[in-house]
Chains A and B, each alone.
Chain A
Amino acid sequence: MPDDTPHRLHQLRGSAPAKRHNARTVAALTGNPGCARRAVLDAAGVDKDALAKQIGFPAKFGQSQFAITRGNSFEAQVKANGYAELLRLLREVLGLEIEEVGSTDLNDVGGNASQEVRHTRARQALKAAVEGREPLTFLDHPLLSLDVGGNIVYLEPDLVAFHHDGVLHVVEIKSFAIIDDQAGGSKVAAAARQSAVYVLALRRLLGDDKVSHDVVLVCPKDFSNQPTAVKIDVRKQLITLDHQLTRLARIDNLVEQLPNGLSLDLATHTPDELVSALSIMEARYAPSCLNSCEMAYFCRHEAAGCTSALGTTVREELGGVEYVTRALDLAQGKAVASVEEEEAAAMLRITAQIYGSVAA
């Protein structure tokens, strides 16, 4: 990284403290890897939620307190009575041996809950476990760290379980139900992406062979509060995540292209100034951004009239033409196609002709 990249990123963010990532936001980085705007904002630690609000396009990611309550109470229940329930489940899915009961609670260390202290303690405990110096089954809420675009991000998996042949497994406790061995696909996918972040953080600390790509997902069974566990293979998620983090590390290429002194400081800039600064950073909006990125409503507004705002499939079916009006002009023969557009234009003309012949 050229020397001035951290400085320029800091300049971009302004006076506000850098926004802390968590496993969910790190996992979301893999959602739209081609988006330069998002990459720069995340690398600079800009508070996208506040930024979007300031420019009049607030994100709509509320969380119901009922969901939070249920999530917490389920986790507490799973870990109750010295992890009795969890032990039974992990013996089944991982084949843990019965005598290996032992756990370390890393939620806080001797009343000291500062992140650095907790992380150091977690690192020591994990290394000791892997090197076989301490018999250990569970590490509860170990604080891990991961380098995300030059910033250290602290991550907190629900649990790390230690397997008897020296391999660690990440255990993720989620409160969505697995009913008759089936669960909602999008929820499982989100859990897998999030767990992959923990696996990656552990692997960078301990080495790839010490951490399994099989994570254990613990969820309520059917309509009860009884937990059930399944193994999920997150190799695919690991590859995309690793790729995206490597890309973020090369953020200097993107930063170099921005004008020197560019700033998104909410304290000193008007919404109009923020919008014009943002428009310099190229975004790649897709409808799925609405589910994962705080800037999505702004980007959607900006992408109005683009075929990609209608979805990737629609864009492809419109011959990959970037703008809706251009696609329609080509389809209706109002514009002359360039050489690259010829094939798309021929297809669009046929579509328009057939649609016109049958639509009222």
Chain B
Amino acid sequence: MSAISSYARALAVDGGRAYPIATRRHLHLSDHPLAFVPLTMAGEANAPLAAMIGTDRDNPTMLFVPQPRNRTLRFAFADQLATIVLKYIEDCPRQGVETYGKEGKVRYLDAPQMLVPNPAGAAFVRLFGRSTRFRRTTGEYAVSPQVPLLGRWLTWFGERSEHPGSSALVAMTSALGRHWATGQSAMEDANLAALLAWIDPPAGVAATDAAREAEDPTIWPPAGPSTDPTFDNEILAPAIRLYDEGKHERALAVLERDLRSQLEPTWRLMWQAIDLLRTLPPGDTVPVRWTNDRTDFTGYHTYVSGGGFPQARRDGAVAAARRLQRLEREQNEYDATCALDDPLVMASFRVTGEAFAGTVVEVEADRKILSDKGRRVLRPRVVVRTGDPVQLLAATKLRSPSRPKQDVTILSINGDRVGLQIENGMGRAGTAAPGTVPTLGEELTYTSVFPESMRSPELPAPEDTPWTHGGPPKPYTPTDDDAREVWE
């Protein structure tokens, strides 16, 4: 939420359609994303009921559990799901590798991308990973060898989705909401059908009418994972009863048909959303962020291939603190780079006075000042005239999206005129290289919000965790209890 997105919502109410709040796509979209629409059974702890999954919009796979309370049937579902997800994951390393860094580290050219309808769908992925990753493949309660592996990967997806800017596991409502503002509240935007009705209504239907219709579960079944209670009571319950009575063949046919009717509309919406996002050109730093996903994928793939343990239930104190620091850093970086990539995102910082856009009205390209060491150094001065409500102080460091490597410092602010000193990026000669100093009449944006190496407080090594934080954590090894955990 920002003044810009709220204003765009007001425009959307008045205009009867969604208004853009981004001109670039701020997430990576794979050429072959794995779309996944899960449904759960009400009342149970993340018990799978059905799912539609696949990389081909015309040919999804539908899975369902005829009696979600039955443990064996649940694990059969997990096994079927594993076949699809693991095959998709294993295709990525086959796309080749690249080396990077001084040590010549290796990373895969591609990484898996899973798309779910909404944040609750992403939570399903995380919890389903939690309920399967500790399972044993031998002894009592043995499950198919694929199941614990699926659990590790779903946990990886769930964990990645908490990183700002990661595109490994994406909730479509969040992705769309990042790029368009509708004429309804953020709460109503959580309904994928209603959100898409505002952005891309069917031909000849007003967005407001389409959005109201989208709230009718008989026309647009919920995008999951929770199902419509009326569907549960009137359609699903009798079908499951049929199964419980031993009429398996008939029950399977009825369930297949009815669950498909609940999943297919959302499946189509998923691809409509993907198409819409593809119309936007990706932001310049999107590939950089996707590289982080690829690096993390490569690391975890190597770990899992080497027989690594499943992820622990809880982080230790130091690991948790480290993780929070990292998430915070990534959030700042994401906010700043999105703005540098996209003038419409930058607009929010201009409204709050942290950035401004204007025209260069004065240039002193050969200005020299005495440095701290007493040497005369080249520090050109330019003056930018802006209509924006600048809220910055002298000596603030700035950067411009069109000159991302050049540091600039504010010298003075007089009314609508901002005096700037160019610090670097002008070549090594005594005079500025051509084109390195802004010219008269040039339109420029400068921002005080840009990615910067943040200094994080020092943290102890995990083995030095102080007693106030529980002392050094025991190194995690999965126990028999983890593997035997009941799932009723």
B17 to chain A, nearest CB (A): 13
Nearest residue in B to A306 (C-beta to C-beta)?
B13
B361 within 8 A of A: no
* Bound form: Cα–Cα A67–B486 in Å: 20
Docked-complex contact A180 and B130, CB < 8 angstroms = yes
Decide: A305 near B13, CB < 8 A? Known: A65-B232, A310-B184, A354-B4.
yes
How many interface residues does B have (CB within 8 Å)?
Answer: 56
B41 within 8 A of A: yes
- Residue in A177, A290, A311, A327 whose beta carbon sits within 8 Å of that of B186 in the complex: A311
Nearest residue in B to A358 (C-beta to C-beta)?
B343
Docked-complex contact B187 and A223, CB < 8 angstroms = no
Docked-complex contact A67 and B43, CB < 8 angstroms = yes
* Bound form: Cα–Cα A69–B387 in Å: 63
User: Among B344-352, B404-412, B454-462, which stretch is in contact with chain A?
Assistant: B344-352
Docked-complex contact A69 and B43, CB < 8 angstroms = yes
Nearest residue in A to B236 (C-beta to C-beta)?
A66
Q: Give every chain B residue within 8 A of A348 (Cβ-Cβ).
A: 7
* Bound form: Cα–Cα A99–B347 in Å: 68
Q: Give every chain B residue within 8 A of A69 (Cβ-Cβ).
A: 43
Nearest residue in A to B343 (C-beta to C-beta)?
A358
Docked-complex contact A70 and B3, CB < 8 angstroms = no
B426 within 8 A of A: no
* Bound form: Cα–Cα A305–B344 in Å: 25
A246 within 8 A of B: no
A239 within 8 A of B: no
Q: Give every chain A residue within 8 A of B11 (Cβ-Cβ).
A: 328
* Bound form: Cα–Cα A181–B312 in Å: 13
B131 to chain A, nearest CB (A): 5
* Bound form: Cα–Cα A226–B45 in Å: 12
A331 within 8 A of B: yes
Docked-complex contact B1 and A224, CB < 8 angstroms = no
B238 to chain A, nearest CB (A): 11
Q: Give every chain B residue within 8 A of A318 (Cβ-Cβ).
A: 6-7, 10
Decide: A347 near B3, CB < 8 A? Known: A66-B44, A179-B130, A223-B45.
yes
A357 within 8 A of B: yes
User: Among B104-112, B163-171, B222-230, B365-373, which stretch is in contact with chain A?
Assistant: B222-230
Q: Give every chain B residue within 8 A of A66 (Cβ-Cβ).
A: 41-44, 232, 236-237
* Bound form: Cα–Cα A317–B7 in Å: 8
* Bound form: Cα–Cα A273–B314 in Å: 58
A175 within 8 A of B: yes
**CB 8 Å contact bits of A194-208 with B (1 = contact, 0 = none):** 000000000000000
B235 to chain A, nearest CB (A): 11
- Residue in B20, B131, B215, B351 whose beta carbon sits within 8 Å of that of A354 in the complex: B351
Docked-complex contact B42 and A359, CB < 8 angstroms = no
Docked-complex contact B486 and A226, CB < 8 angstroms = yes
A353 to chain B, nearest CB (A): 7
Docked-complex contact B187 and A351, CB < 8 angstroms = no
Docked-complex contact A351 and B13, CB < 8 angstroms = no
Residues B8-66 near A (CB distance < 8 A): 8-11, 13-14, 19-20, 23, 41-46
Docked-complex contact B185 and A311, CB < 8 angstroms = yes
* Bound form: Cα–Cα A305–B184 in Å: 10
**CB 8 Å contact bits of B256-274 with A (1 = contact, 0 = none):** 0000000000000000000
A40 within 8 A of B: no
Decide: A355 near B44, CB < 8 A? Known: A288-B187, A313-B1.
no
Q: Give every chain B residue within 8 A of A62 (Cβ-Cβ).
A: 228-230, 233
**CB 8 Å contact bits of A303-342 with B (1 = contact, 0 = none):** 0010101110110011000001101100100000000000
Q: Give every chain A residue within 8 A of B131 (Cβ-Cβ).
A: 223
Docked-complex contact B1 and A317, CB < 8 angstroms = yes
A350 within 8 A of B: yes
A186 to chain B, nearest CB (A): 11
B213 within 8 A of A: no
Q: Give every chain A residue within 8 A of B217 (Cβ-Cβ).
A: 60
Nearest residue in A to B19 (C-beta to C-beta)?
A359
Q: Give every chain B residue within 8 A of A310 (Cβ-Cβ).
A: 6, 9-10, 13, 183-185
B389 within 8 A of A: yes
B474 within 8 A of A: no
Interface centre among B11, B20, B488 (most CB of A within 10 A): B11
Q: Give every chain A residue within 8 A of B14 (Cβ-Cβ).
A: 324-325, 328
A360 within 8 A of B: yes
A150 within 8 A of B: no
Nearest residue in A to B1 (C-beta to C-beta)?
A313
Residues A171-191 near B (CB distance < 8 A): 175-177, 179-181
Q: Give every chain A residue within 8 A of B313 (Cβ-Cβ).
A: 180
B188 within 8 A of A: yes
- Residue in B1, B351, B388, B486 whose beta carbon sits within 8 Å of that of A314 in the complex: B1
Interface centre among A67, A71, A226, A307 (most CB of B within 10 A): A67
Docked-complex contact A360 and B314, CB < 8 angstroms = no
Q: Give every chain A residue within 8 A of B357 (Cβ-Cβ).
A: 357
Docked-complex contact B187 and A311, CB < 8 angstroms = yes
Docked-complex contact B2 and A70, CB < 8 angstroms = no
Docked-complex contact B9 and A64, CB < 8 angstroms = no
- Residue in A63, A181, A317 whose beta carbon sits within 8 Å of that of B2 in the complex: A317
Q: Give every chain B residue within 8 A of A71 (Cβ-Cβ).
A: 43
- Residue in B10, B233, B351 whose beta carbon sits within 8 Å of that of A327 in the complex: B10
Docked-complex contact B485 and A223, CB < 8 angstroms = yes
B127 within 8 A of A: yes
* Bound form: Cα–Cα A360–B23 in Å: 8
B487 within 8 A of A: yes
Docked-complex contact B237 and A65, CB < 8 angstroms = yes
B134 to chain A, nearest CB (A): 10
Interface centre among A66, A69, A226 (most CB of B within 10 A): A66
Docked-complex contact B20 and A360, CB < 8 angstroms = yes
- Residue in B1, B43, B347 whose beta carbon sits within 8 Å of that of A70 in the complex: B43
Interface centre among B11, B130, B185 (most CB of A within 10 A): B185
Docked-complex contact B487 and A224, CB < 8 angstroms = yes
* Bound form: Cα–Cα A62–B1 in Å: 31
* Bound form: Cα–Cα A28–B483 in Å: 41
A352 to chain B, nearest CB (A): 6
- Residue in A176, A180, A223, A307 whose beta carbon sits within 8 Å of that of B314 in the complex: A180
Nearest residue in A to B350 (C-beta to C-beta)?
A354
A68 within 8 A of B: yes
* Bound form: Cα–Cα A60–B222 in Å: 12
Q: Which 5 A-B pairs have the closest CB atoms?
A: A62-B229, A70-B43, A67-B43, A64-B42, A177-B45
Q: Which residues of A contact B (CB under 8 A)?
A: 60, 62-71, 175-177, 179-181, 220, 222-226, 287-288, 290-291, 305, 307, 309-311, 313-314, 317-318, 324-325, 327-328, 331, 347-348, 350-355, 357-360
Instruction: Give me 16 A-to-B residue pairs in the complex whose CB atoms sit less than 8 angstroms apart, sorted by A's number.
Output: A60-B217, A179-B45, A179-B127, A223-B131, A223-B487, A309-B184, A310-B9, A310-B185, A311-B187, A317-B1, A331-B7, A354-B4, A355-B7, A355-B344, A357-B357, A359-B347
Extra pairs beyond A71-B43, A177-B45 (9, CB < 8 Å): A70-B44, A180-B314, A220-B45, A287-B188, A290-B187, A310-B9, A317-B1, A324-B13, A355-B4
